[in-house]
Structure 1
C-alpha cells in the first residue's frame, strides 16, 4: 500500500460518527479537456502515462448529496439525474463506494439520495463521469469535514477529493481545481502523482490565460465504446509502450510551450495528441473508429481556416465524435463567428457549447 493510502486511512480512522444525523451538501464540479491524453491504466485506477488538462468553466455537474443516519450496514443510496431516478448509474456508484469505503468508512452509516444534473449532454464525450464523480467526491469530503473539522484543512480537503475522484473515474481527479491540472507522476513536474491531480506549478504565458474551448456536439448520443473499455484495450496493444513514451515526452515539451507562449508548437502538439488517441483505438483489438464523418469535416475546415487566416485556432478530441475547438481569448469574436457560419452545420441540431478555462469546483 502506498504511504498516501495509509495517510488517508489514518485520517479517516479518527472521524467522529456522532455529530451528523441528516442533512445535505452540494457542489458544482467542471469537466476538463486533456491536452496531453491519458490512455491506458493499471492497478486501481492508476494512469499508464501522465496527462495535463484545461479545467473547463461552463460544462459542469451540480450534485446534492442528501444523507440520513441509519442502523443497518451496507451501501444504501439512490441516484437521480434531472429529477428522474437513474438505476442505470447505480452499479458504477456501488463500484466507487467499494473502492473508497476504507478511506471514508462513514458511508456505511448513512442512506444517501444523490441528485445530479449536467449543463451538457450525458455520455457525449464531454467527460460527464469526470465532473460527476468529482462533484460526488467533493460532497463526501464535505461530510467528512463536518464529521472531522479540526483535522481537515483546505489543502488536504482538495487533495483527498481528487484522490477519491480518481477511484470513480480516472480523469475526474483533474476536475477538482484549475486552470491546468497534471495527473500522473512525471520527473520534470514537481509534486505530480499517479494518485491525484495537482495544479501545474510552473510559469504559464499570458497567451494561455483565459483560453477558449467551444465544444461542437457532433453526436450527443451514447459513446460507441466506454472509456473503461477503451483504456483496457491498451493492455497488450502493439503500440502501447511507444505511446506512453510519447506522452511523457509531450508533457516535457508542454512545459516549454507554456513558458514561451509558442502557440504554433501548442497547436502541433495538441492536435497530434488528439489524433494519436484515436489512432490507438483504431489499432486496438477489437478496433473502433470513434470519429464520425462530420468530425473529419470539422477538422479539415479548421485546418483550411488556419491556413487562410493565420489564426491560432486548433482542435482536440476526447474518446468520441465531438470536437473541442481551442483558441486564445484575443480571437474569441472571430472564431465564434467562424463556428457559427461554417462549423455549426456539422453539429447535431446545430448545437455547440461555448466554454473557457476555469478554476475548478465550487461549493453551492
Structure 2
C-alpha cells in the first residue's frame, strides 16, 4: 500500500506544452464522513456511490514558463473567467506542491464546466477537484512515464482529497471507501479505494436528485466539519460510522435491500442530527425536504417498493432505488414529489464508474 512519501514526485522531465481533459463525477455518501483532522484526514470512514451524469469536465492546458518562483494559472468556468474560484485553487496548489513540485514550472489554464447547473444546490467540489487531480496526474504521467496505472489513480485520489475530502471518492470505482476501516482491505485515510464485491442488485442503482433548494449552502462543509470538534456526540458518532460501514459492506455483498434502506436513511438523518446538536446549531433541511421524506415513507409502506432517501449537508433529497423499479418510482416522483422541488426540477442519475479521460 502507498504511503504519503510515495507520492512525492521525483526524476521527472520537462515538456513545453500540453493539453489534457478529464471528466469526474460527483458522489453520494451512504455512510457519511463528518468531521476531519488536519490535512484533510477524515474523523471516520465513509462509503459512497459514484454517480454517472452529474460530473465536471475540466480541460487543463500547460505551458512551460521557464521559472519556478510561484504558481501561475488562469481559471475559466464555462469559458469565462471565474475569479471567485481562484482562492480555492490557489490553496489546493499550495497543499499539493510538495507532491507535485513540477507545477510551479508551468502556467496552467484550467477550463471547467459542470453537466449539472452550477446553481442547482449539488456540491461540485468533489467532481471539480477530482477532475483537476486527474489532469494533474496526466501531466505527471507525461513527464514521468514510468508511473504505474495503480499509482496514477491512487495518487489522483490522494491529491483530490487535499482539495475536497469527498473528491477522493470520485476518481475510480462504482462504490468507494475512504478512511481506515478494519474490515476493508487496503482502506486508507489518505485516498479512496474501490469496493468491488457488490451484489448485482446494486450494480445499476438509481439516484434521482430532487432539487428542493438551489441556493447557496447555509453553512460551508469546512465549517460543518469543524463543528464536530468538541461536539458532545462526536465520539459516539464516529463509532456508529465504523459500525454502519461494517453493516453496509455485508449488505452490498449480499444484496439485502431492506437493510440497505435502514442504514442509508439512518445515516442521512444522523448527519443532520449532528448539525442540529452542534454549537452553533443549524437546520439544513427545508419544510419540503421533510414533506418528501414522509411521502417516500408512505409510498414504501403502501407498495413495498424499496425506494429510500439520503441527504447531503443541505436540503436536496437523493432518492435511491433499484433499476428494476425505475419506471414506477419515476412515476411516483412525477406525481407526488416534483411539486416540492424548486421550479419542479430534479436530475436522474445512477451509479457510474468514476473519472474518464476525454479525447
Find the aligned partners of 1:260 and 1:74 in 2 and give their Cα distance.
52
Q: Contact (CA 8 Å) 1:124, 1:320: kept in 2 or not?
A: no
CA contact (8 A) 1:123 1:223 kept: no
Partner residue, 1:292: 286
Counterpart residue number, 1:6: 5
Q: How many pairs were matched up?
A: 357
Q: Does 1:16 align with 2:10?
A: no
Once residues 121 and 103 of structure 2 are traced to their aligned partners in structure 1, the CA distance between those partners, rounded to angstroms, is 30
Alpha-carbon distance between aligned partners in 2 of 1:78 and 1:342, rounded to the nearest angstrom = 45
The reply to whether residue 241 of structure 1 matches residue 235 of structure 2 is yes
2:156 paired residue number? 161
Equivalent residue runs for 1:124-163 within 5 Å: 124-150=120-146, 152-163=147-158
Residue 80, structure 1, aligned to residue 88, structure 2 = no
* TM-score, length-scaled by structure 2: 0.97
Distance in structure 2 (CA, Å) of the matches to 1:3 and 1:330? 39
* Divergent runs of 4+, >3 A: none
Matched, 1:98 2:94: yes
Partner of 1:70: 65
SS in 1 for 2:302: helix
Q: How far is 1:78 from its partner?
A: 1.7
Matches of 1:51 and 1:261 in 2, distance apart? 19
Tell whether 2:172 aligns with 1:172.
no
Partner SS state of residue 110, structure 2: strand
Aligned-residue offset at 1:122: 2.9
- Asked if 1:112 is matched to 2:108, the reply is yes
* Mapped partners of 1:159, 1:123: distance in 2: 31
Q: Distance in 2 between matches of 1:262 and 1:7?
A: 39
Classify the secondary structure of the residue corresponding to 1:44.
Answer: helix
Shift of 1:124: 4.7
Aligned equivalents of 1:196 and 1:125: distance in 2? 26
* Runs of at least 5 residues in structure 1 that lack an aligned partner in the other structure: none
Tell whether 2:186 aligns with 1:191.
yes
RMSD in angstroms over aligned alpha carbons?
1.2
- For 1:319 and 1:79, locate their aligned partners in 2 and report how far apart those are by CA, in whole Å: 27
